[in-house]
Structure 1
Amino acid sequence: MRHDYRALSKTLVDLLALSAPPLAITFTQEDATDVPRYEGTMPASAPDGRTGKVTAGCVFWMKAVDRTFRTHAEDHGNCSVGSLTHGFITLDTAAKRDDVKALMEASWVTPEVFPQIPVVKQRPASVIYGPLADTRVDPDVVFLRLNGKQAMILHDALPDLRFEGKPQCHIIPIAKEEGQVALSVGCMLSRTRTGMANSEMTCAIPGTRLADVVARLQATCRADVAVATYAADDARRFGARSG
């Protein structure tokens, strides 16, 4: 492995005061049979044939906080948007699915948007999810769940941070394929399916940039501590009249 990911995970948690652990997301071109497969059953298919072990691939972000598992295309199959962004299906296939048609009928997105959505370029054999601290390989993407203050710190540390919106899952290919750190304010589709807190946002960091991101966060946090100390001392002049 390239780094001590357990140490880097702890540093991220400490610097940002994360409530959810950083995740490692790894795309493989061979079935990673040494990693347990995600357990679950698939419900009856929708009229267009969609089903999967979870309602959408973003749900795996919530499932992986305490265990490592591998997933396959069929596990992600209920959400055509996530299947598209993760390289499991083509744009032409996604466009024919009822869930994508429903999004367009609701004017949530327009047909012109879909060709512009970042996607994983090479179809994976599997995608592995799990705590960053437990990864046994170099991850393609490190995934964080953040609140507003944590996003502020990350933005201060990374002037090139990309801010993104819907669909939330497209920050994964931005990090993997474009090598950019991307923060998403989320999307209603993902928030409803994952049950993610209203206060949470998500961030995808390219695995190759993780050590540098941590170093930049350390410098930013030192500055923030100094500024917070100054502001607290200055506020004492106002006593109970502050606010």
Structure 2
Amino acid sequence: MILHLQWPGRRMPKGRSGIMGAMSDTSTDWKSLNQRLVAALKPTGAPVAISFHAPGETPPADRVTPDYPEPNDRGRTGQVPAGCVFWIHGAEGTFATEAADHANCSVGSYTHGFMTLEEAAAKDDVEAVLAAGWVDQAAVMGLPHVAERPGSVVYGPLAEAAVTPDVVLLRVNGLALMTLKGACPDVVFEGKPQCHIVAMAKEQGTVAASVGCALSRARTGMRPEEMTCVIPGGRLAEVVDRLEATVNLDRMMAHYAASDAQRFGSES
């Protein structure tokens, strides 16, 4: 479905609509892949399909209706506190976003290609994290980021995907990350900020995971046990096959370990 709900203080989406034929995908059964992915990793929310669309292209969903709070004294505002909040709402329905919708978080705007490094560095929120020592200048300069500025980014449940997603994002727990590591030994684990793993999947074709960051957790309300992982959309079928094989092997080994532990009695 196309999302038409409201979240606190914001209206969702109303405006342009259309299907971008060049990226439409009727051959892949995203609903089936979604079901298999959920069965393997048991995410804490629906897997989210993220697709980037070039300027001038019509995204396959309506854009969120711009409804921003008053900007701060440096002019910063947006549809949500940070673009990572769209991950939460993208589990519930499909919508498109543009640069201004992401602009309250300059780091996220940079990692998603909406701002240049120079533009982001001049913003007060980047100045704040640098001044606090939360990150240093070298870390900001080295962040993976989307290379070409998009016209829009679309978020929505993977099961409802109308186009091939660039990235599939999941909120998961430690057991799921164990499974992902078993299936994809080259998975890259990242820390702060959280949002750059999206760029890693899109630009580098990397399966990646993040332990999260304090800023994102405060803005999204993610639970302490939740972490995020991303899978490039073009690799999803391959990764799901690997995940299912890993789950079966882990289940067999867990049964072996549980049987072996019985020799130690109830105190083991």
Q: Report if TM-score (shorter chain) is over 0.5.
A: yes
The answer to whether structure 1 residue 50 and structure 2 residue 79 are counterparts is: no
Cα drift, residue 163 of structure 1: 0.7
Q: Which residue of 1 aligns with 2:36?
A: 11
Contact 2:59–2:152 under 8 Å retained in 1: no
CA contact (8 A) 1:38 1:69 kept: yes
The one-letter code matched in structure 1 to 2:75 is: G
Match of 1:119 in 2: 145
| Counterpart for residue 130 of structure 2 | 104
Mapping for residues 46-195 of structure 1, pairs under 5 Å: 46-195=72-221
| 1:141-189 C-alpha deviation (Å, 9 max, x unpaired) | 0001110111011011111100111110000110000111110111111
Match of 1:196 in 2: 222
CA distance in 2, matches of 1:21, 1:129: 12
Please, which runs of 5 or more residues in structure 1 have no aligned partner? none
Total equivalences in the alignment: 242
Paired residue type of 2:265 = G
Q: Please give the alpha-carbon distance, in whole angstroms, between the structure 1 residues aligned to 2:85 and 2:202.
A: 19
- Give secondary structure in 1 for the equivalent of 2:169: strand
For structure 2, the residue ranges without an aligned partner over 5 or more in a row are: 1-24
Larger displacement relative to structure 2 (72-81 or 112-121): 112-121
Amino acid at match of 2:41: L
Take 1:198 and 1:39, find their aligned partners in 2: how far apart are those partners? 31
Task: Look up the equivalent residue of 2:251 and give its one-letter code.
Answer: V
Q: Distance in 1 between matches of 2:45 and 2:226?
A: 10
SS in 2 for 1:167: coil
How far is 1:31 from its partner?
4.4
Match of 2:18 in 1: none
2:231 paired with 1:205: yes
Alignment counterpart, residue 26 of structure 1, candidates 47, 51, 62: 51
Residue 234 of structure 1 and its aligned partner are, at CA, apart by 1.6
CA contact (8 A) 2:172 2:227 kept: yes
Percent identity over the alignment is 52
